[in-house]
C-alpha cells in the first residue's frame, strides 16, 4: 500500500491551508470498503526533529479543519486556543486537524468520485469513528508521527479523540475529551435519526444520488434546525427570542395556517438551516451523523472501565454546564471510569452545548497547565 502526503511546509508558510494525502484502501468495520481514500488536513507550526510536539485537534460534526487562521484571513473555530503564543502555541507545537472520512471538506466522502467516475452517492459505505481513526493513523505514519503529544476535541471531536486513545494507546500521550461521553446514548441516537430522516425524506434526495440535479436542501436545512435546538439551551433561546415576533411578521394574524408570520426563534432556526445548506453536503451530513451514532468505546471491548483500561494517556475531561445534548453527567461517568483520578472541568456558559466552541477559552489555563506548559 502506498501512502502519499504533501511534504510538510516550513513553519508558518502554509499554516491553515488545506493539504491532501492518499492513504490507500480502507476496509471498514461494518463490512464496507473504500478502495482509495484521500484525507484533507490543515497544519500549523513545524514538526520538530523527533516528532514529539504533534497535536491532533478533531473537528465536530459539521466543522471544518480550519481550527485557526494561520497564514489565511479566515478565522478558525478555536482561535481562543490555537495560534502563536496561545495555549496551544504554534511556535512550539505542530498542530494538525483532519477532515473525517465521509466529510465534504476534502476527504473521501459521498460526493467524491468512485472508481467508475461517478460520485459515490447512495453507494457510500457506513464509516464508524474507529474507521476514521484507522485512516488518520495512516496519515500520521506518512507524516512521521509515531505518537501524539496530545489529541483533543469537542463534541464529535471529543469522541474521535477518545477513540484514538483507546484504539492506539501507545500513540496518544495526552487526551482531552470535551462535551461528549463514552458512547452515544439512546436519546442522542434518536435526535440523530430525526435529522437523517429529514434529509432522506426530502423529495430531491433520490436515495442519495442527487448529484447533477437538485440537492435536498430543504431536508438538510430541517436537519440543521433539529440539531441546533439541541446545541443551544432553553435559557438562551428564551433570553434571546422569548415569544417575540420576527420583524414585520405577525405570528397571530393569518386567515389560514400557511400564511402566518414567524416568531423570532423560528427565523433564527431558518437562518441556521440556510447557512448550513450553503456549505455542507447532505449525504456527508448523514454519513458523519451515523458515524457519531456508532460512537461507543465499549463495543467489543467489555464493560466501560475494562474498555478504558486499554488507554495509557493522561486525560483531561470537560463539559458545558448547560449542555442538554451531551449532559455533564456523561462526562462525569467517563471520568469516573478512566484509570486514575480524573476531574471534570466545567465550562460555564448559558448557551448550551455550543459553549465548547464559544467559551473554550475558559479552559485555557487548565489545558496549558495540564498539557501545554
Using DSSP's 3-state secondary structure scheme, residue 350 falls into: coil
Percent of the chain with pLDDT over 90: 96
305-357 pLDDT tens trace: 999 999 999 999 999 999 999 999 999 999 999 999 999 999 999 999 999 99
Average pLDDT, the chain: 96
Do residues 41 and 65 lie in contact, with contact meaning Cβ atoms separated by under 8 Å?
yes
- What value, to the nearest 5°, has the Cα angle with vertex 122 and ends 120 and 126? 85
Dihedrals φ, ψ of 92, to 5°?
-115, -40
What is the pLDDT at residue 286? 98
Residues 360, 366, 371, 372, CA torsion sign: positive
Does 61 score more than 90 pLDDT?
A: yes
Residues 152, 188, 333, 182, CA torsion sign: negative
Using DSSP's 3-state secondary structure scheme, residue 89 falls into: strand
Does 6 score more than 70 pLDDT?
A: no
Task: List Cβ neighbours of 16 (8 Å cut-off, separation of 6 or more).
Answer: 42, 44, 66, 67, 68, 69, 70, 71, 72, 74, 76
141-165 pLDDT tens trace: 999 999 999 999 999 999 999 999 9
What is the pLDDT at residue 284? 98
Give the integer Cα–Cα distance in Å for 173 and 152: 11
Query: What integer is the mean pLDDT of 267-272?
Result: 98
What is the pLDDT at residue 84? 97
Dihedrals φ, ψ of 102, to 5°?
100, -10
Q: Sorting pLDDT into bands at 50, 70 and 90, what band is 23?
A: very high
Range of weakest confidence among 6-10, 19-23, 147-151: 6-10
Catalytic residue of the set 155, 284, 294, 331: 155
Q: Sorting pLDDT into bands at 50, 70 and 90, what band is 10?
A: low
Query: What integer is the mean pLDDT of 11-40?
Result: 94
Catalytic residue of the set 233, 323, 345, 354: 323
Give the integer Cα–Cα distance in Å for 264 and 242: 8
288-307 pLDDT tens trace: 999 999 999 999 999 999 99
353 as an active site residue: the answer is yes
Does 1 score more than 50 pLDDT?
A: no
Give the integer Cα–Cα distance in Å for 120 and 347: 40
User: Model pTM?
Assistant: 0.96
66 as an active site residue: the answer is no
Catalytic residue of the set 66, 179, 353, 354: 353
Give the integer Cα–Cα distance in Å for 209 and 206: 5
In terms of Cα–Cα distance, which of 137, 42, 132, 17 is closest to 94?
A: 42
Give the integer Cα–Cα distance in Å for 373 and 367: 8
Does 219 score more than 80 pLDDT?
A: yes
132 as an active site residue: the answer is no
Does 4 score more than 80 pLDDT?
A: no
Percent of the chain with pLDDT over 70: 97
91-114 pLDDT tens trace: 999 999 999 999 999 999 999 999
What is the pLDDT at residue 12? 64
What is the pLDDT at residue 327? 98
What is the pLDDT at residue 282? 98
Q: Sorting pLDDT into bands at 50, 70 and 90, what band is 185?
A: very high
Amino acid at each position: 500500500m502506498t501512502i502519499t502526503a504533501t511534504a510538510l511546509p516550513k513553519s508558518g508558510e502554509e499554516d491553515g491551508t488545506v493539504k491532501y494525502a492518499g492513504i490507500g484502501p480502507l476496509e471498514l468495520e461494518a463490512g464496507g470498503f473504500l478502495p482509495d481514500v484521500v484525507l484533507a488536513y490543515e497544519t500549523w507550526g513545524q514538526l520538530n526533529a523527533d516528532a514529539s510536539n504533534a497535536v491532533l485537534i478533531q473537528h465536530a460534526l459539521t466543522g471544518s479543519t480550519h481550527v485557526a487562521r494561520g497564514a489565511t484571513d479566515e478565522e478558525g473555530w478555536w482561535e481562543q486556543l490555537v495560534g502563536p503564543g496561545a495555549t496551544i502555541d504554534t511556535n512550539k507545537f505542530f498542530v494538525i486537524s483532519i477532515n473525517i472520512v465521509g466529510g465534504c471538506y476534502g476527504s473521501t466522502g459521498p460526493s467524491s468520485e468512485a472508481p467508475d467516475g461517478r460520485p459515490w452517492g447512495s453507494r457510500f459505505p457506513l464509516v464508524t469513528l474507529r474507521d476514521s481513526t484507522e485512516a488518520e493513523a495512516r496519515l500520521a505514519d506518512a507524516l512521521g508521527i509515531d505518537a501524539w503529544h496530545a489529541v483533543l476535541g469537542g463534541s464529535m471531536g471529543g469522541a474521535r479523540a477518545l477513540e484514538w486513545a483507546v484504539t492506539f494507546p501507545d500513540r496518544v500521550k495526552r487526551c482531552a475529551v470535551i462535551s461528549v461521553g463514552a458512547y452515544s446514548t439512546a436519546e442522542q441516537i434518536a435526535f440523530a435519526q430525526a435529522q437523517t430522516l429529514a434529509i432522506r425524506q426530502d423529495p430531491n434526495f433520490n436515495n442519495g444520488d442527487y448529484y447533477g440535479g437538485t440537492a435536498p436542501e430543504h431536508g438538510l436545512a430541517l436537519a440543521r434546525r433539529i440539531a441546533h435546538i439541541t446545541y443551544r439551551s432553553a435559557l438562551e433561546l428564551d433570553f434571546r427570542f422569548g415569544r417575540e415576533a420576527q420583524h414585520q411578521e405577525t405570528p397571530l394574524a393569518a386567515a389560514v395556517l400557511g400564511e402566518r408570520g414567524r416568531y423570532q426563534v423560528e427565523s433564527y432556526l431558518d437562518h441556521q438551516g440556510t447557512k448550513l445548506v450553503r456549505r455542507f453536503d447532505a449525504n456527508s451530513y448523514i454519513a458523519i451523523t451515523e458515524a457519531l451514532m456508532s460512537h461507543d468505546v465499549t463495543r467489543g471491548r467489555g464493560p466501560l472501565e475494562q474498555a478504558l483500561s486499554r488507554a495509557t494517556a493522561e486525560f483531561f475531561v470537560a463539559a458545558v454546564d448547560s449542555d442538554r445534548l451531551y449532559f455533564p453527567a456523561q462526562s462525569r461517568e467517563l471520568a469516573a471510569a478512566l484509570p486514575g483520578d480524573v476531574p471534570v472541568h466545567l465550562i460555564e456558559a448559558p448557551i448550551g452545548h455550543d459553549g465548547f466552541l464559544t467559551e473554550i477559552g475558559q479552559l485555557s489555563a487548565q489545558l496549558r497547565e495540564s498539557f501545554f506548559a
